[in-house]
Amino acid sequence: MRLGNALRSPSPALVASALAVTLVAGLGAAAREPAGSAATDTAAMQFGTLDVGGLAAAPAAPLPDAVAPVPPPPLPAPAGPAPEVAPLTELRAPDLLVTVPATLRPEQVAALGALPNLSALSVLDAGTVRVAGQDARLLGVDPSTFRAFTPQETAQSDDLWRAVARGEVAPTYVLARDRQLTLGGPITMAGSAEVPGRVGALAAFGLPGVDLVTDTTKARSLGVVPASAVLVSAPQTSISALKKAVQGALGPDSVVEVLRPEVAKAPKGKPRNYRDLYIDSARYCKGLSWTVLAAIGQVESGHGKNLGPSSAGALGPMQFLPSTWAAYGVDGDGDGQADIMSPYDAVPSAAAYLCRFGANRGPDGLYDAIFAYNRADWYVQKVLGLAAQYR
């Protein structure tokens, strides 16, 4: 399979005619048909408008054609009235997830609150429960504050956070798939006691190893340790300095997980073809394979051959909706603007978007991230199948 064609930017007329919308990746949004899907199954992985170098791939079985998703049945009635949840006013970029073996003392929380350049923090209950006979990492949260630390589409869903505030459970997409959980269906969790619940939402949280989120009351009924984790946002502080300060405040038993993406230094010169652009853009998400970006680029636009707008209003070579672009758009070529129609901006933005949803955190994180890009299992399988063919 070869990637061919030289990168180009769309004409001003095309840009002017493209009306707003972004990547369909929000809770409650239906899966969409990618703009490039009509050509992707038969294309020999030809890279769109860029002088693309050869890209060998092993033969693969034909992929199934995309099918329109079946609308879900009506959900059972929620367990109770919708509690008040504070509106989302600002997104917070989580830099560290820190866990401790016992409840944080007030003076430890105060020390964290006094960290230099601290933007925000959220104290959480954290622990492990059993779901369908297997371990799952659970967070008990205050939805009014925790929501700001999640990816945009997750954070914006008022229905999701009202469900959590009501004591319902929000598993990740991959946990729901693996444990056969259904939206609106029952879930039984076993901790210090066996506690029944309702799946109130499915979501991607972008946090390593986090499988389930519920409110603190439900979490504590399972024996989860209260106030045993904290999310820290301090984007103006280097990660090394922030880790040192946090561990100084919480002691040597604290376990620090770095969430801030590490972006490698850019090579000299612009990529001359889509293959090189995909490879270069993977630096925005250390641990993400460039082949995943190539597969998404093929499915979404045939490597820049179909820039949209799609039926959902998505635009550009990576088919972002304008609302998503406003949150995740990256100025990849350093020209001072993030252009949804430019491959030099769109492909790095896709890498940054996937990273925010945990694409570099193992197979489960990658599944959740691709599912967040387009909410359909067939889409995830198609992308992963194509990615496995690239060389």
Distance of CA 43 to the CA centre of its chain: 28
Cα–chain center distance at 333:
23
* Domain end among 258, 276, 309: 258
Whether 378 maps to a domain, the answer reads yes
Regarding whether 243 and 325 lie in a shared domain, the answer is no
pTM: 0.73
361, 325, 324: which is closest to 342 by C-alpha?
325
Residue 6 included in any domain: no
pLDDT attached to residue 23: 23
Does residue 196 sit in the same domain as residue 247? yes
User: pLDDT value at position 233?
Assistant: 94
Q: Which residue, 228, 258, 288, sits at the end of a domain?
A: 258
Domain co-membership, 215 together with 306: no
Domain assignment present for 87: no
Measured between alpha carbons, how far apart are the two ends of the chain, in Å?
A: 8
CB neighbour list of residue 225: distance below 8 Å, 6 or more residues apart: 101, 102, 103, 125, 126, 127
- Quick one: 287 and 253 in the same domain? no
**86 belongs to a structural domain:** no
Residue 114 and residue 46 share a domain: no
Kindly state whether residue 358 falls inside one of the protein's structural domains.
yes
Beta carbons within 8 Å of 110's beta carbon, 6+ residues apart: none
Six token digits for residue 114: 């006094």
DSSP 52: P
Are residue 219 and residue 317 in the same domain, yes or no?
A: no
Residue 310's pLDDT band (boundaries 50, 70, 90)? confident
pLDDT of residue 334: 86
Pick the closest to residue 215 from 367, 74, 79 (CA basis).
Answer: 79
Give the DSSP letter of residue 154.
H
148 and 247 part of one domain: yes
Task: In whole angstroms, give the CA distance from residue 336 to residue 293.
Answer: 23
Mean pLDDT value across the chain: 82
Same-domain pairing of 251 and 106: yes
Contact 288, 351 (CB under 8 A): yes
Across the chain, where does the E strand assignment appear? 96-99, 120-131, 134-141, 170-171, 186-190, 194-198, 212-215, 225-233, 255-258
The pLDDT score that the predictor gives to residue 83 is 80
- What pLDDT score does 266 carry? 67
> Is position 100 within any domain?
yes
Domain count, the chain: 2
Mean pLDDT of 249-266: 84
Identify the domain containing residue 113 by its residue range. 96-258
- Where is the domain boundary, 211, 241, 258? 258
Residues 211 and 106 in one domain: yes
At residue 69 the predicted structure's pLDDT band, cuts being 50, 70 and 90, is very low
DSSP single-letter state for residue 187: E
Q: Is residue 382 part of a domain?
A: yes
In a domain, 85, yes or no: no
Task: Give the number of other CB atoms < 10 A from CB of residue 8.
Answer: 13
Confidence of residue 361 (pLDDT cuts 50, 70, 90): confident
Q: pLDDT tens, 152-177?
A: 889 999 999 999 999 999 999 999 99
CB-based contact 248:108 (threshold 8 Å): no
The pLDDT-based confidence of 49 (bands split at 50, 70, 90) is very low
Say if residue 101 is in the same domain as residue 240.
Answer: yes
Residue 210 and residue 280 share a domain: no
Q: Which amino acid is at 177?
A: R
In this prediction, residue 197 carries a pLDDT of 95
Task: Using pLDDT thresholds of 50, 70 and 90, give the confidence band for residue 27.
Answer: very low
Instruction: CATH number of the domain at 328, please.
Output: 1.10.530.10
| pLDDT given at position 323 | 86
Same structural domain, 112 and 237: yes
Instruction: Give me the pLDDT at residue 32, please.
Output: 63
| pLDDT tens profile 89-111 | 999 989 999 999 999 999 999 99
Strand bridging mode 225-233 / 194-198: unpaired
Q: Mean pLDDT throughout 106-133?
A: 95
Quick one: pLDDT at residue 327?
A: 84
